[in-house]
Structure 1
Amino acid sequence: MAFKAPSPTPKGLWRRTPPAVFPPTLGLLGLALGWRRGMGEFALPPGLADMLLGAVTLFALFALLTYAVKFMRRPAVVLEDLKILPGRAGLATLVLSVYLLAAVFAPLSPEQARPILLAGIVMHLALTGAVIWGFAHGPAEQRRVSPVWHLMFTGWIVAANSALVLGLFNLAIGLFWVSLFAAVGIWTASLQQFSRESVPAPLRPFLAIHLAPVALLGSAAQSLGAQGIAQVFAIGALMLVVLFGLRIRWLLAGGFTPFWGAFTFPLAATANFWLLMGGFWRLPGAVMLVGATVLILPIAFRIFKLWANGQLAVKSNAAIA
């Protein structure tokens, strides 16, 4: 009896764009924004930061285009990508990248940045609805609380910080409180889980995501004039950075995987936050910005190299449109 060969992947451009490309893309956007803020700390020409922002923005727009093509070929592919952890993390960071694009354009053209921010909010609402629908109709494993939940449910704080850059203070305040309540709930549930069971080595890089809401909530608090709250978050961020530094061998025990993209944005967000705080935090922010650059660039390069040679979609089990 003859056996039929497996059906090949349908021909067509970007049918299997992996969502896993977006965590490092988000990290690069955050890093470029950090250098925009930090140029004065290093007495460097502002044009260098603009060049970096321009290059990263073009790449982010290209990555968004590739997933948009995949989505337009078969919109239901989003629900398939959301069934797995790398897909949920990737699509959440896709939306957060839109918010950072609004922050990139805000000083240059607020009139163009506001529609970008609005588009991100609409996408975020739609994606959150799709995630909740998947939780309700999918297996129980999908409903397990993980650091990736921060990207979806606490990710509104990225929109809040972009809204602050655009002067939309009332919107930012509302998003701040929504994000804070979500973050506290996720931190509480994560601590309870962590006390009962260990984290498998391949998933440990995702723990770095817990740092991102600390830095972003602190940034929003500082921009809103709540310096006391911001100081608490700054100390909390420092404690997490030290903890992760002490446990780095444990975090990286699983070896390099596309999940390492989870390290990129939290590092950039922390550098941004400490530089924004100024004063005592000016030097830690400068050191973190340099350290984040040294770490983020090679991680992003390795992940993008996997994307270029077609391995990233396979390794992250991306859906096919």
Structure 2
Amino acid sequence: MAVMAGAGAPGLWRRTPPAVFPPIMGLFGLGLAWRRGVNSFGLPDGIAEAILGAVTALYLFCLLAYLAKFLRRPAVLVEDLRVLPGRAGVGAMVLCLYLVAAVALPYGPGLARSLLWVAVVVHAAMLVVLIRVFATGPAEQRRVTPVWHLNFVGFILAGLTAPAVGETALAWAVLWVTGFIAVLIWAIGARQLRTAPPPAPLRPLLSIHLAPAAMLGVVALGVGFENVAQIFAVIAAVMLALLIIGLRWITAAGFSPLWGAFTFPLAATSSLWIAIGGVWSVPGGIALIAATPFVPWIAARVLQLWAKGVLAAKTNAATA
């Protein structure tokens, strides 16, 4: 287990890299997509729950590893938030709390509701720290990137659980507020892509733009806005098509830990299309078939880098 601390680390888990969390988020998304497929396609429910149980255990282990690092020296959170892979990883770590609440929903609505509010509070606290990092750091850190979706739009994940536990007002609030923020980030991102395309190593992060479209659609469907969900289904389809067309350009730098960004958007899009059903059932099923081997493959590659002690160095993770 000492190898998990990272190369050159002075003790167990002192350099736990936040980069382990984006692919774990993708695994959660895959399990939730399988859960939706149980009713739509008659898939075995045991497979979905086995995936979600295993991913929850993996997440709790990685969360423990990061908390051990944080408790040794709390300033590591600020240091991780100063670098782009760290902001993505910490953001995914927090957002996974919403997904744990969604996993728990069929087993205990009360537990799911409690986990939901824990996620909201932790997310808000992280955002306060992040805004302070932006305010006190160099101007380059404040450049809008797709990772802003994780940090600022990620509250939309509260809408996965909120309607089912009697928090419909929360679901409505996150739908409209985060929807507005997502549109702003999309607009800025489109302009930046035309005027200053990202360097090859950062291009996989562009796939994050797909996730808000999928999640806004899922939440809109959950609160009864079926027409809005249909609009987001189309937006997600256009975005996914553009990502596929530009895949060679996006992956030009070869595999890196940032490939974790591919995982959740694909799984989330599958969930949206499966949830809407009708003409979207076939695309949803195809996306689920594609995501089922692809997401675990990326997660395994990233976790292997952690096990070898090189993930922290590759992503500039802070050391406690």
Same fold (TM over 0.5): yes
Report percent identity of matched pairs: 52
Which amino acid counterpart does residue 86 of structure 2 have in structure 1? G
Given that residues 99 and 157 in structure 2 are in contact (C-alpha distance below 8 angstroms), is that contact kept between their aligned partners in structure 1? yes
Instruction: Give how far 1:305 is off.
Output: 0.5
Query: 2:257 matched to which residue of 1?
Result: 258
Please list every run of at least 4 consecutive aligned residues from structure 1 whose deviation after the TM superposition is greater than 6 angstroms.
none
Shift of 1:41: 3.9
Counterpart contact for 2:23–2:260, Cα < 8 Å: yes
- Report if the CA contact (8 A) 2:22-2:260 is conserved: yes
Separation in structure 2 between the aligned mates of residue 47 and residue 233 of structure 1, nearest angstrom: 30
SS at match of 2:62: helix
Separation of aligned partners in 2, 1:160 and 1:42: 24
Q: 2:273: which partner in 1?
A: 274
2:131 match: 132
Asked if structure 2 preserves the Cα contact closer than 8 Å seen for 1:17 and 1:66, the reply is yes
Q: Could you tell which deviates more after superposition, 93-102 or 112-121?
A: 112-121
Write the letter of the residue equivalent to 2:79: E
State whether structure 2 residue 293 is matched by structure 1 residue 294.
yes
Q: Secondary structure at the match of 1:155?
A: helix
8 Å CA contact 1:103, 1:165 repeated in 2: no
C-alpha offsets along residues 135-190 of structure 1, whole Å, 9 cap, x if unaligned? 11001110000000000111110112221343311111111111111101111111
Alignment of 1:213-232 (within 5 A): 213-232=212-231
Q: Give the alignment of 1:1-321 within 5 angstroms.
A: 9=8, 11-321=10-320
Task: Indicate the residue corresponding to 1:3 in structure 2.
Answer: none
Q: Deviations over 1:210-252 (max 9, x none)?
A: 0000000011111111111111110111111111111110110
User: Distance between the aligned counterparts of 2:16 and 2:163, measured in 1?
Assistant: 32
Aligned residue in 2 for 1:4: none
CA-CA distance at 1:113 after TM superposition: 1.4
CA contact (8 A) 2:112 2:161 kept: no
* TM-score (normalised: structure 1): 0.95
TM-score (norm 2): 0.95
User: Structure 1: which amino acid aligns with 2:301?
Assistant: R
Contact 2:110 2:165 in 1 (8 A): no
8 A Cα contact 1:208 1:244, kept in partner: yes
**Is this contact kept in 1: 2:40–2:277, CA < 8 A?**
no
How many correspondences in the alignment? 314
Tell me how far apart the structure 2 counterparts of residues 56 and 100 of structure 1 sit (CA, whole Å): 10
Output the aligned Cα RMSD: 1.2
| SS state at 1:146 partner | coil
How far off is 1:10 after superposition? Answer: 5.6
Moved more, 281-290 or 207-216: 281-290
**Offset, 1:52:** 1.3
Closer, same or farther: CA 42–117 of 1 in aligned 2, 3 Å = same
| Matching residue of 1:5 | none
RCO greater where, 1 or 2, for CA within 8 Å and sep 6 or more?
Answer: 2
Deviation at 1:11, TM superposition (A): 3.1
Counterparts of 1:76 and 1:269, CA distance in 2: 33
- How far apart are residue 293 of structure 1 and its match? 1.2
Bigger shift: residues 81-90 or 183-192: 183-192
CA radius of gyration, larger in:
1
Q: Which amino acid counterpart does residue 89 of structure 2 have in structure 1?
A: G
Who is 2:4 aligned against? none
